[in-house]
Structure 1
């Protein structure tokens, strides 16, 4: 195993512990602040397909943001694991959700598959270049590559920022990162 892979495993454990240590009330407040920042910064036409996610464990709760986006006319889709990869199925208010593995739920097989043009991405750690580290299965990296061109917005708590995420050839950089302290534009950070 390469040093980069060992670094990623250690970084995942460290960042999960940091996130888990946040009091539930702090995670709720931060999730609401992130919803405010993202809602103000996201510009899209009604009918745009936006991929969201439901929280796993101590992840940011994107549901307040997704509700706002849906109220603004977005068609929402949630990730579902199909044949070892992520597909995005339409999320309709009131429709039942079924277990998808990894402690999350998503629309059932009867929901239409959609291809988001904007994707809200969960993560464990991020850096100012737009590097991200997830849980290590590569689901989002493969989905981003398959959906390209897709605009990616990582949602994270400020405590999840690190100086540099170890990146490998298959890893995808994020276009924006939204934290409770505001929106980070990696291209502006890299040039400034």
Structure 2
């Protein structure tokens, strides 16, 4: 591993330990606060195609936000892992979900594949420049690069903030990172 990768791994581990230490009730309340912040303070085209995600482990829960955006007319999709890349499949209430690995689920094959105009992005750590550390596989960095231009909003608990995320050439800064206590905008 390079020095930058080693530093990212260290920061990821420390941030995830802080996230895991949050009581479940605090994670629920923070998830609801993030949903309110995004809906109240950021503007979106009501007919946008929004890529959300289904939470794993102690991750922030974007489902209240995804439901609010769907209620306003957005089409919602979530990523499925297909041949080492993300494919964004429409999420329809009541449709079955299939395991994707890493504890994730997505609609199965044959579901409509959409091209998001807004992407809600999970993360393990972030800095105020809106650089993120993911889980280390690069899926989101590759997907964001392939789908530009699109708006990107990282959703995170405030405890995941770090002083500085080491930059690597493949890293892509997000447009915003929203936590329960702040909205950070990229420079």
Q: Same fold (TM over 0.5)?
A: yes
Runs of 4+ displaced beyond 4 Å: none
Q: Give SS of 1:184's match.
A: strand
Q: Which residue of 2 aligns with 1:134?
A: 134
Q: What's the offset of the Cα at 1:42?
A: 3.1
Q: Give SS of 2:4's match.
A: helix
Q: In structure 1, how many angstroms separate the alpha carbons of the residues matched to 2:119 and 2:110?
A: 22
* TM-score, scaled to structure 1: 0.95
What do you get for the CA RMSD once the two structures are aligned? 0.9
Q: In structure 2, how many angstroms separate the alpha carbons of the residues matched to 1:12 and 1:81?
A: 22
Q: Give SS of 1:113's match.
A: coil
**Mapping of residues 10-159 of structure 1, within 5 Å:** 10-159=10-159
How big is each residue's C-alpha offset from its partner over 1:5-24, in whole Å with a ceiling of 9 and x where there is no partner? Answer: 11011111111111000000
Q: Which residue of 2 aligns with 1:190?
A: none
Question: For structure 1, which segment, 38-47 or 91-100, has the greater mean C-alpha deviation from structure 2 after superposition?
Answer: 38-47
Q: Which residue of 2 aligns with 1:162?
A: 162
How big is each residue's C-alpha offset from its partner over 1:61-110, in whole Å with a ceiling of 9 and x where there is no partner? Answer: 00010000000000000000000111100011111111111101111111
Structure 2: unaligned runs, 5 residues or longer: none
Q: Give SS of 1:106's match.
A: strand
Structure 1: unaligned runs, 5 residues or longer: 188-192
* TM-score, scaled to structure 2: 0.97
Q: In structure 2, how many angstroms separate the alpha carbons of the residues matched to 1:42 and 1:49?
A: 15
Q: Which residue of 2 aligns with 1:183?
A: 183
